[in-house]
Chain A
Amino acid sequence: GAGVSQTPSNKVTEKGKYVELRCDPISGHTALYWYRQSLGQGPEFLIYFQGTGAADDSGLPNDRFFAVRPEGSVSTLKIQRTERGDSAVYLCASSLGGVGSYNEQFFGPGTRLTVL
């Protein structure tokens, strides 16, 4: 079956521009996550959606970052006024969700964002 897909696979932008990164989760997965991997680091949690709502956005680094999931499926991560420090691989994952489950997360291939 189809896994998690992310578009674009690569994005190069200039400092100060706005970017949108898209994630298509596995069909039927109610939980969706965004992580960011900067060079030399492990993936770092950004935000978690349960259905349409952001249940935990504590990992978003500042108010330039925003994510939506309006219909409980596709999600878009939006970054305003990009900075060179935003350059990273942005990973999306989805899981079945559910209270008390171990929520095995299935990852997409990531979007590599480069801010010049």
Chain B
Amino acid sequence: ILNVEQSPQSLHVQEGDSTNFTCSFPSSNFYALHWYRWETAKSPEALFVMTLNGDEKKKGRISATLNTKEGYSYLYIKGSQPEDSATYLCAPNSGGSNYKLTFGKGTLLTVNP
């Protein structure tokens, strides 16, 4: 079973703050890492698929980096807004498979106006 750890478990920030969270995973048999944002009562929304060591991806105020050698990824949010409030999930592909995702427990972000 793949061990995927996300930290912190939850985070409260003020509107305008920048924040970041961590996903760590076993570095062996790496295939890809997926980041999702999941707002309450909605579908999990794909943010990034990251595949190469040193990858950095950006979507608006959100960016992510990947280190496959040491087995971690960071997600950054610049200038947090209340609409960023959600659970952020990371999921590496399990055991080199191209379909099976193993999710962490997520980081619950609350942005206060």
CA distance A35 to B89 in the complex (A): 14
Q: Contact check, B4 vs A42: say whether CB atoms are below 8 A apart.
A: yes
CA distance A55 to B4 in the complex (A): 24
Map CB proximity to B onto A89-116 as digits: 1 under 8 Å, 0 otherwise: 0010001010111111111111000000
Q: Contact check, A4 vs B43: say whether CB atoms are below 8 A apart.
A: yes
What's the count of A-B pairs with C-beta under 8 Å?
Answer: 62
A40-B105, A42-B105 are contacts. A103–B89 as well, Cβ < 8 Å?
A: no
Q: Is A14 an interface residue (CB 8 A)?
A: no
Q: Contact check, B34 vs A104: say whether CB atoms are below 8 A apart.
A: yes
Q: Contact check, B44 vs A91: say whether CB atoms are below 8 A apart.
A: yes
A42-B89, A42-B106, A102-B49 are contacts. A108–B43 as well, Cβ < 8 Å?
A: yes
Main DSSP-derived SS at the A contact region: loop
Partner-A contacts on B (CB < 8 A): 4, 6, 32, 34, 36, 41-46, 49, 51, 89, 91, 94, 98-106
Q: Is A43 an interface residue (CB 8 A)?
A: yes
Q: Contact check, A106 vs B102: say whether CB atoms are below 8 A apart.
A: no
| 6 A-B contact pairs sorted by A residue (CB < 8 Å) | A42-B106, A102-B98, A104-B34, A107-B44, A108-B43, A110-B43
**A interface residues, tally (CB under 8 Å):** 30
Residues of A within 8 A of B101 (CB): 35, 43, 45, 105
Residues of A within 8 A of B103 (CB): 35, 42-44
CA distance A91 to B103 in the complex (A): 13
Report A5 CB to chain B, min CB distance, Å.
9
Q: Is A31 an interface residue (CB 8 A)?
A: yes
Chain B residue with the shortest CB-CB distance to A55: B99
